[in-house]
Amino acid sequence: MLSQKTIDIIKSTVPVLEVKGTEITKVFYKNLFTNHPELLNVFNHTNQQQGRQQTALANTVLAAAQNIDKLATIIPVVKQIAQKHRSLQVKPEHYPIVGQHLLGAIKEVLGDAATDEILGAWAEAYGVIAQVFIDIEKEMYEEASSQEGGWSEFKEFKVIEKVEESDVITSFYLVPKDGSSVPTFLPGQYITVRSQIPGEEYLSNRQYSLSDASGKNHFRISVKREAEENQPLGKFSNYLHNQVNVGDTLEITAPAGEFTLNTEIDSDVVFLSGGVGITPLISMAKSIASIQPNRQVSFISASRNGKLQAFENELNQLKEQLTNYDLSFVYENPSEEDLQNNNFKKQGYIDAEWLNKNVKSDNADYYVCGPVPFLKAIITSLKGLGIKDRQIHFEFFGPAMNLDTE
């Protein structure tokens, strides 16, 4: 336990760190990778370049510090991060390295203001916070390997099928190379895919949602080709699209993630996807179709136009399995062909008025996934319609941030 004095020091330094937090974490990462370049095999280089990870780590350390005397309140956030850590193979021995560099960065940025007393308090607090993560991650590693067909580190999978789902999304069907069985997962979970891109010095890791139902003898990921090949944002997805083919090997870790569908209850479910945010949601919808076919399901899939709409056939086929199913395609900017085929329900953006008229259900669970502006707009609309926080479940791709939808 931390002493009251340590807690007081931590709390009194939070305002300074709020101002300097991002600067501290920038220095931290620079020094960390200079002294431990092997960690570049673990971190996502694109997130680093964009400064996204800096913000995520700074926010979390501050949130933990603000709640240092009642850490139990941040356990749900810790669990979500711990899932990511486990999926990326963050291990207990990494924590002292990160701690040492974080403390070093605080000292470097704050200069004389970082007294021995302050640094001592932070060292102690970091130890407590790190232990919370290490304990939760230990349980997650054990859980991943104890499951039938499960494993705890990276495992080689072979690509057995590659399917173009839209102009920008391609699916990869994966099976274990050693012929072992494929574990079940909670619909909505993701895997980390690791590979050595030719010409790159370090291994690259990316997380992709599993897009097929659980309980099949393969995993499926559906990857959006991001930006251009020569831009950092598109490096891994372009590599998968252009260079990874049937018969090739990818390393993956066992399914992880807390954005999952509860199939123990039978509340109405509304899925709202924006673009490639469809991937975890179609896994959820397909899982409901196989185990809860009478559950009321609404699926609203928003895309720019029909050519960018993935899984149109799969979503339509669910009508044969689900007895209470309502499907809507929303196209922001439909093409001539879309207008001729009249294959969408709404043109433009989904707004509160449309939701109110078409899908509002007071007791439904709403699962929302897509880019940040889409999430903000949908969540704000749902809240405006009186939907409670506990009914809204969401995930977007990239490091966790505050969405500020209050």
Active site residues: 95, 137
Closest to ligand HEM by CB, 202 vs 349, is: 202
Tokens for 395, please give them: 């995930």
Among 133, 154, 239, 354, binds ligand HEM (CB under 6 A): 133
Closest to ligand HEM by CB, 139 vs 320, is: 139
Among 17, 68, 81, 244, binds ligand HEM (CB under 6 A): 81
Tokens for 121, please give them: 């308090």
> What is the C-alpha to C-alpha distance for residues 185 and 215, in angstroms, rounded to an integer?
8
Residues 335-354 that bind ligand HEM (CB under 6 A): none
CA dihedral of 69, 74, 75, 80, whole degrees rounded to 10: -150
Does position 256 interact with ligand HEM (CB under 6 A)? The reply is: no
Helix (H, G, I), strand (E, B) or coil at 274: strand
| AA letter at 109 | V
Among 22, 31, 41, 47, binds ligand HEM (CB under 6 A): 47
Does position 170 interact with ligand HEM (CB under 6 A)? The reply is: no
Does position 224 interact with ligand HEM (CB under 6 A)? The reply is: no
Min CB(290)–ligand HEM separation in Å: 29
Among 95, 157, 354, 366, binds ligand HEM (CB under 6 A): 95
Min CB(130)–ligand HEM separation in Å: 5
Min CB(101)–ligand HEM separation in Å: 10
> What is the C-alpha to C-alpha distance for residues 9 and 119, in angstroms, rounded to an integer?
10
Min CB(206)–ligand HEM separation in Å: 9
Among 13, 24, 29, 84, binds ligand HEM (CB under 6 A): 84
17 alpha carbon, distance to own chain's centre: 26
Min CB(401)–ligand HEM separation in Å: 9
Radius of gyration of the chain (CA): 22
> What is the C-alpha to C-alpha distance for residues 206 and 197, in angstroms, rounded to an integer?
12
Are 129 and 61 in contact, with CB atoms under 8 Å apart?
Answer: yes
Min CB(29)–ligand HEM separation in Å: 10
Find where tokens 């790190």 sit. 130
Tokens for 190, please give them: 């993701």
> What is the C-alpha to C-alpha distance for residues 126 and 101, in angstroms, rounded to an integer?
11
Q: Where is 141: in which H helix or E strand?
A: helix 116-146
Helix (H, G, I), strand (E, B) or coil at 220: strand
Does position 90 interact with ligand HEM (CB under 6 A)? The reply is: yes
Neighbours of 400 (CB within 10 A): 16
Closest to ligand HEM by CB, 14 vs 98, is: 98
Min CB(95)–ligand HEM separation in Å: 5
Does position 130 interact with ligand HEM (CB under 6 A)? The reply is: yes
Are 6 and 128 in contact, with CB atoms under 8 Å apart?
Answer: no
Closest to ligand HEM by CB, 233 vs 400, is: 400
Does position 53 interact with ligand HEM (CB under 6 A)? The reply is: yes
Among 11, 94, 216, 218, binds ligand HEM (CB under 6 A): 94
Mark residues 376-405: x for contact with ligand HEM by CB under 6 A, - for none. Answer: -----------------------xx-----
Helix (H, G, I), strand (E, B) or coil at 209: strand
Does position 43 interact with ligand HEM (CB under 6 A)? The reply is: yes
Closest to ligand HEM by CB, 47 vs 290, is: 47
Min CB(383)–ligand HEM separation in Å: 22
Among 9, 10, 42, 318, binds ligand HEM (CB under 6 A): 42
Helix (H, G, I), strand (E, B) or coil at 390: helix
Q: Residue 277: which of 199, 116, 127, 169 has the closest Cα?
A: 169
Among 2, 14, 16, 98, binds ligand HEM (CB under 6 A): 98
DSSP 143-201: HHHHSTT--SS-EEEEEEEEEE-SSSEEEEEEEETT-PPPPP--TT-EEEEEE--TT-S
Among 7, 14, 16, 39, binds ligand HEM (CB under 6 A): 39
Within a 13 Å sphere around the CA of 97, how many CA atoms are in the beta-carbon half?
A: 15
Site residues (vs ligand HEM, CB under 6 A): 39, 42-44, 47, 53, 56-57, 60-61, 80-81, 84-85, 88, 90, 94-95, 98, 129-130, 133, 399-400
